Amino acid sequence: MAVSSGYTATFAMEVLLHSTSSSRSTPSSSASPSLVRLLGGPARNNRHALIHRRRAPLLSARCEVTPDSLTTASGIDYDKSSSVSALEQLKISAADRYTKERSSIVVIGLSVHTAPVEMREKLAIPEAEWPRAIEELCNLNHIEEAAVLSTCNRMEIYVVALSQHRGVKEVTEWMSKTSGIPVSELCQHRFLLYNNDATQHLFEVSAGLDSLVLGEGQILAQVKQVVKVGQGVVGFGRNISGLFKHAITVGKRVRTETNIAAGAVSVSSAAVELALMKLPESSHATARMLVIGAGKMGKLVIKHLAAKGCTAMVVVNRTEERVAAIREELKDVEIIYKPLTEMLSCTAEADVVFTSTASESPLFLKEHVQNLPPASADVGGLRLFIDISVPRNVGSCVTDVESARVYNVDDLKEVVAANKEDRLRKAMEAQAIIAEESKQFEAWRDSLETVPTIKKLRAYAERIRLAELEKCMSKMGDDMPKKTRRAIDDLSRGIVNKLLHGPMQHLRCDGSDSRTLSETLENMNALNRMFSLETEISVLEQKIRAKVEQTQK
């Protein structure tokens, strides 16, 4: 079977990456697989179709070829090709689609809109593990930069990928490996967004438009935390850090210029509302409240309970320090501190239990709850567990206990459904700002396209300068004084710098002016053609070389 030249360099790169990964595990193994699958790029997601279900399948064209047919088509025996020759073959084949494809910003995620909490909790990554996750993601063959946004309502991975299709495949497999969820199951619930769509999505997330509770402020703080944790992490590169920093600006601007935050509630306040909806109205003032965990979420629960008229509650936490600070803020509320060792005894005396700890294993299982005395008659004898933690603090098996009712973050949809019309109106006000900011970010990212051309043009001029300088020096003889040599060298540098000044000025752009940006990109393409800089191919080669060197360490 003959293979078109457009696939030759693709296979060359696959051989290169495969050979380096194989050499680490089995040094004597062959670099050429017995069967190679060449996969086309994914179809672009239609963002409008993802408003309610943010996921779309990948469409790919497949063909299978054997090593023999590849040898016939290209004249190269890939079983014997070295990493260097594979790179050379990649560089020669300008038809290869890799050289035509700019690195893409991709988000692969699952949220409260697409996946149940049972799945999200398996994927959740604690904040302390974000740097490790970024490092592992950037060690994947087609991933350059990465960031992790893991909250109770979403688990999203943002990457800069050399290839959209292969990048998504590698990240999905990594997610499957770390969570234990099969790839097929992940694909049913994940959503994929690329470039402009990925940018707009993060801006909507930061603005609170994608939250279960419209305009809630906690997500903006979580986006800020991604930037804070990412500082100094190698894989949190220029594109991804720029994206998240811009998202913070968008989140602040939307909240300042619209009334989206007016009357907005958080997950914690929605949890309190849900509890009151489930309790008999006559018991609101007398129901015994227990809050387990005094972190950010727990503190908000306590404050909202106080706002709803609750005058006494028990708070269970590892230490008393945080509880004492909350007690100091809410002096009119009786807040009783209890250590974690007394959690079950406190639960036995409570009618409503709110859980919001960072525990990675359940605090309550069926055997913990089934022998507890029933709740008070005022609340109908049913004990409510309102669990707003991910991973969950209350095991799903507790639902089997007749005297208990369990609710988690997914059940909060019932609270926010009533405000649907108001949510849509406020979202439209914010969308105009997001669209404007998305254009600005894309313009900034487009302006980065000229950086490789600037470097390449300087390197091209420097090679000519050094070659001509060497010819000149050889003609002048070995007895030339050092001062003269230095003067000639300075002269050549000065000439090159002055000649390059004009082109460099026309390649620099901050991306704020669309007309200037358009002209700059035209200038870049013109210089690439005039000087045969082959910027795209050379940059790709450098990226692959860096990946090869990284995997060989």
Respond yes or no: is residue 152 known to be catalytic: yes
Best CA proximity match to 202, nearest among 442, 438, 445: 438
Q: Which of 152, 310, 346, 509 is catalytic?
A: 152
Contact between 326 and 335 (Cβ < 8 Å): yes
The two structure tokens encoding residue 316: 């269970």
The two structure tokens encoding residue 195: 């470039």
Show the CA angle centred on residue 413, arms to residues 407 and 417, nearest 5°.
Answer: 140
Cα 464 to Cα 178: distance, rounded to the nearest angstrom: 51
Contact between 8 and 73 (Cβ < 8 Å): yes
Cα 397 to Cα 388: distance, rounded to the nearest angstrom: 17
Q: What is the DSSP string of 480-522?
A: --HHHHHHHHHHHHHHHHHHHHHHHHTT---S--HHHHHHHHH
Token pair 């890799």 is found at 98
CA distances from 386 to 56, 268, 375, 485, 493 (A): 33, 10, 15, 80, 71
Q: What is the 3-state secondary structure (H, E, C) of 138-184?
A: HCCCCEEEEEEEECCCEEEEEEEECCHHHHHHHHHHHHHHHHCCCHH
Q: What is the 3-state secondary structure (H, E, C) of 337-373?
A: EEEHHHHHHHHHCCCEEEECCCCCCCCECHHHHCCCC
Cα 315 to Cα 211: distance, rounded to the nearest angstrom: 27
Distance of CA 278 to the CA centre of its chain: 36
Token pair 């002209």 is found at 519
Show the CA angle centred on residue 313, arms to residues 312 and 317, nearest 5°.
Answer: 145
Q: Which residues are annotated as catalytic?
A: 152
